[in-house]
Amino acid sequence: MKLNGARILLECLKREGVDTIFGYPGGTVINLYDELFSFKEIRHILPRHEQAGVHAADGYARATGKVGVAIATSGPGATNTITGIATAYMDSIPMVIITGQVPTALIGNDAFQEADIIGITRPCTKHNFLVKDVKDLATIMKKAFYIARTGRPGPVVVDLPKDVQIAQTEFKYPETVEIRGYKPTVEGHPKQIEKAVAAIMQAKKPVIYVGGGVILGNASAELVALAKRLGIPVTTTLMGLGSFPENDSLSLGLLGMHGTYYANMAVSNCDMLIAIGARFDDRVTGKIASFAPHAKIVHVDVDPTSIKKNVRVDLPIVGDVRDVLVKMLKIVDEIGPDAEGCRQALASWTAEIDGWKEKHPMAYKQATSTIKPQYVIQRLRALSDPDAIVATDVGQHQMWTAQFFGFTAPRTLLSSGGLGTMGFGLPAAMGAQAGFPDRQVMVICGDGGFQMNMQELATIVQNRLNVKIVILNNNFLGMVRQWQELFFDKRYSSTCMELPIDFIKLAEAFGATGLQATKVDEVDEVIKKGFSIKGPVLMEFKVAREEKVLPMVPAGASLTEMVLAS
Amino acid sequence: MKHTIAVLVENEFGVLSRVVGLFSGRGFNIDSLTVAPTNDEALSRITLVTRGDEQIIEQITKQLNKLIDVIKVIDFEAENAIEREMVLVKVAAEDQSRAEVLRIADIFRAKVIDVTPKSYTLEATGTPAKVGAMIELLRPLGLKELVSTGPVVIGRGAKGWKG
C-alpha cells in the first residue's frame, strides 16, 4: 500500500520505538500534523517555543537513554531549534530533529519561511539530511536514528520539504543500515587494553577521571566494579556525575574549575590518570601545561578525535567504554590475587587523599536566618526520592547542585555541560517527566535561567507533567556577578535582575502551585509541601544574594591554584 | 609542515561544504583544494594541501574521518606518492622577451595554448616544485595571470585506492 511522506515518517518513528515527541506545528509541517492527528501510537507534546521542544526531547533522551525526537516547522521554527541542537551536540545526546522545509521546487528561492537549515546546522549536528525524494525517506530515517545513537551519540537533523510529505510511495522500513563512511569503533584494541591494565596495576597513585561517556555508554556498573576491585579513587566531570556513587569512600566528587580540593589535588599529584569517556575540557583541566603533570595518561573514548586533542596521552584506547571496561575487568579477574595486592599497595595514596579531604572538605558557612543556596540543595537531596531526577539550568545553582547534591545513580542529573545553555533546565525536566511519569522530577534553576524558558509552565500544566521547579533566587545573574566580584572590581554590569518578580503569582497564573521560603527555617517546610502536592509546583527560595561558588580555579590557572571557601 | 591529504567522499550535494566547514570552523588552513568524481561515480576525491604540526594534522585527519560522508582519508607521505599540478599562465611577450618565454616553456615542457602579439599563454604540469620553478623564471618577464589546479596526488605501486 502506498503511503504519503508524512505517514511514512510517523511509521518510521514507531518502528524506532519512539513513543513521545515534542513539536510545534507550522505551514511546512501541517501535513505531518494532519497525519499525527489520527496516529495514536505516539504522544505529542506541544511546547511553547521550539527551543524548549528540543531541550525537552534532549531531557527525555538524557533521562531514558532513548533517542529524543523533536519537530519544528521551516524558517523561524527551524532556526529556533539551533540552541537546543547545539546543546545536545556538545553533550553528545542522541536526538533526531525533524524540520519542515519549503517545497523542493522553492528551495533556494527565498520562499516564505525558508531557511537553509541544513547549512545552518552543519557544524552543530552529528549529521543532517535533506530529503529530496519520498522514496529515500525511510532509508534516511533509519540512517538518522542509527547515526544518532551509535558511536559517540549526537543530534541528527532531517529536513523534510512539504511536497515530500505529500508525495506517496510504497513503504518498507529497511531492516539493516549500511553507511560505508560510518563505522564507529566499538571494540577496544585487546593489546592496548592489556597494556593499560598492566600499567594501572603498577601505578602507586592512580586516579580515574570519568566523563559523560560512561553515562551515555551505560557503563556505570562496570566502572564501579573496576574502581572498587582495584581500590582506585574516582573523580567525575559535571557530565559524569551519577556514574559513580558519591557516597562511596572512593568518590572524590567533581574536578575542575569548581571541583573539590581533594579531586584537584589528587589529579595534580597522581602518577596514573585513567580518563574514561571524558574529553579534557578546559573547565576540567585548567592550565593544560600543569594538568596532571606527573601522570601517565590512559584515555578510553569512543571518539578518536577526543584523544590527544588537548592533552598528551600515553595509552589511547578507542572503543565503547563499556566494552573496554568489561575487558579490563576480565583481565583483572584473571590476575586474581594480585589485584588484591594492588589495592593494598594503594593504602598510602588513599591516606594522602583522606588528608586532603580532611583539610578542605566541601563546606559553606551556615547563616542564622538567610538561606544559603547550598543548604537548599542538601535539603532537596535529603527530602527527595532516592531515584529522583534533577535537571539544572546553568550558573551558580548548577555548580552548587553538582557540589552538594550527591548523585548516586546515572541519568539522574540532566545538565547542559558543554554549551552551558541557560534556559535548558525547565524544558529538560519536562522531557524527563514525560519519559518517567512515575518518578520524582525536579529542576533546580536560578531566577535568570528560569526566565529564559518560563513559558514552558504552560506546557507543564497543560500536559499534567509533575515537575517540581526550584528557583534559587538571588536577583542576580549570579555566576557572572561572581566573576565581576572577583575579577572586575565588583562592577556589576547588567547582572542585577532589578525587577522583583512575584514567582508565586506567576505560577498561579499558569495554573501551577507557587511556594516561597525566605528564611532558613522555612526551607524544609516548603520542600516537603512542594513534593507532597501532586502536580507542578514552583518553590522559590530567596537565597543569600552574594554567595559564591567555591572552590574556584580561575580561568587559565592550574588546578592547584584554587580559591577556597574561607 | 605542508601535508597533501586525499579524501574519498560520497559524491553528493553538500559534502564539500562539510569538509571545508570543518577547516574553517576549527581554524585550520587550506592552501589548495581540488575535487572531482572518481572512476566510481558514486565517489568524489578531494585533494587538499594544508599545514600544521603533527598534532594539528592528526586532528585534521581524525576530524575528516569522523564526517559521515567521508569514506577514506590518506595523509600522503612524499616518498610513497606522486604529486602533480597544472598551471595556466599568461606571460607578457614582446620583442626581446618573446624568445625567452618560449625557451623557458621548452625547458619545462610547457605547451603554448594561446598566443597574441603581446603575450603567450602556457600550460604546464608537473610537481609543485617544478611548476613553481617555472613560474619564478617567468615572473620577471611579466606575469599577467596565473591559475593553478593545486596538486592532485596518487600512491605509487600497483595497488589502487577505493572505497
Helix residue ranges, H only, A38-91: 50-64, 76-80, 82-90
pLDDT of residue A229: 92
What mean pLDDT value characterizes chain B?
A: 94
Q: Tally the domains of chain B.
A: 2
Best of A104, A107, A122, A159 to mutate (most B CBs within 10 Å, chain B): A122
**Same-domain pairing of B8 and B71:** yes
Q: Which of A123, A181, A305 sits opposite B69 (nearest CB)?
A: A181
Catalytic residue among A454, A479, A497, A539: A479
Residue with grid cell 609542515, as numbered in its chain: B1
Cα A437 to Cα A47, A62, A189, A342, A397, distances in angstroms: 17, 15, 41, 45, 25
pLDDT of residue A146: 98
Rg (Cα) of chain B, in Å, rounded? Answer: 18
Decide the pairing of beta strands B70-76 and B2-10.
antiparallel
Cα B156 to Cα A237, B8, B48, B127, B160, distances in angstroms: 47, 17, 18, 14, 9
pLDDT of residue A9: 98
**Same-domain pairing of B150 and B133:** yes
ipTM rounded to 2 decimals: 0.91
Catalytic, A162? Answer: yes
User: What's the distance, Cα to Cα, between the start and end of chain B in Å?
Assistant: 28
pLDDT of residue A234: 98
| CATH classification of the domain holding B55 | 3.30.70.260
Q: Which of B21, B63, B70 sits opposite A181 (nearest CB)?
A: B70
**Same-domain pairing of B89 and B29:** no
- Report the alpha-carbon distance of residue A419 to residue A508 in Å, rounded: 32
Please report whether residue B113 resides in a domain: yes
User: What's the distance, Cα to Cα, between the start and end of chain A in Å?
Assistant: 72
Maximal C-alpha separation, chain B? 57
Q: From A218, A261, A222, A215, select the one nearest A238 (Cα to Cα).
A: A215
Catalytic residue among A14, A39, A113, A516: A113
Please report whether residue B160 resides in a domain: no
Domain membership of residue B61 as a residue range: 2-76
- Report the alpha-carbon distance of residue A44 to residue A62 in Å, rounded: 18
Please report whether residue B112 resides in a domain: yes
* Residue A500 DSSP class: P
Among B57, B76, B95, where does a domain finish? B76
Q: From A478, A468, A414, A424, select the one nearest A447 (Cα to Cα).
A: A478
Catalytic, A145? Answer: no
Task: Tell me: cis bond preceding A337? Omega within 30 of 0 counts.
Answer: no
pLDDT of residue A337: 66
Minimal C-alpha gap between B73 and chain A (Å): 10
Does the pLDDT at position B83 exceed 80?
yes
**Same-domain pairing of B69 and B13:** yes
Helix residue ranges, H only, A360-446: 373-383, 396-404, 425-435
> Which residues in A lie closer than 8 A to residue B58 (C-beta atoms)?
308
**Same-domain pairing of B59 and B100:** no
Q: Which of A126, A130, A305 sits opposite B63 (nearest CB)?
A: A305
**Same-domain pairing of B69 and B89:** no
| Contact flag A123-B71 (C-beta cutoff 8 Å) | no
Residues of chain A with pLDDT under 50: none
Q: Which of A122, A179, A305 sits opposite B66 (nearest CB)?
A: A305
**Same-domain pairing of B24 and B55:** yes
pLDDT of residue B163: 58
Catalytic, A488? Answer: no
Under 8 Å between Cβ of A201 and A342: yes
Instruction: Give contacts of B 54-93 with A, CB under 8 A.
Output: 55, 58-59, 62-63, 65-71
Among B76, B100, B123, where does a domain finish? B76
**Same-domain pairing of B66 and B101:** no
Please report whether residue B161 resides in a domain: no
| CATH classification of the domain holding B135 | 3.30.70.1150
**Same-domain pairing of B45 and B91:** no
Among B61, B76, B91, where does a domain finish? B76
Decide the pairing of beta strands A127-130 and A155-161.
parallel
Q: SS3 for A209?
A: strand
**Same-domain pairing of B69 and B88:** no
Minimal C-alpha gap between A150 and chain B (Å): 12
Q: What burial class does residue A333 get, using C-beta atoms within 10 Å of its C-beta: 0-12 exposed, 13-18 middle, 19+ buried?
A: exposed
Written as nine digits, the cell of A437 is 511519569
Please report whether residue B147 resides in a domain: yes
**Same-domain pairing of B40 and B16:** yes
Q: SS3 for A264?
A: helix
Residue with grid cell 535582575, as numbered in its chain: A497
Under 8 Å between Cβ of A442 and A391: yes
Phi, psi of A542 (to 5 degrees): -80, 110
Under 8 Å between Cβ of A382 and A374: no
**Same-domain pairing of B31 and B52:** yes
Best of B57, B66, B69 to mutate (most A CBs within 10 Å, chain A): B66
Q: Could you report the per-residue pLDDT of B15-27, keeping only the tens digit for each?
A: 999 999 999 998 8
A212 HSE (CA, 13 A, CB side): 29
Please report whether residue B118 resides in a domain: yes
Q: Could you report the per-residue pLDDT of B105-131, keeping only the tens digit for each?
A: 999 999 999 999 999 999 999 999 999
Instruction: Report how many Cβ contacts below 8 Å link chain A to chain B.
Output: 35
Q: From B114, B90, B112, B116, select the one nearest B102 (Cα to Cα).
A: B112
pLDDT of residue A242: 98
Under 8 Å between Cβ of A295 and A271: yes
Please report whether residue B29 resides in a domain: yes
Under 8 Å between Cβ of A22 and A53: yes
Does the pLDDT at position B1 exceed 90?
no
Please report whether residue B162 resides in a domain: no
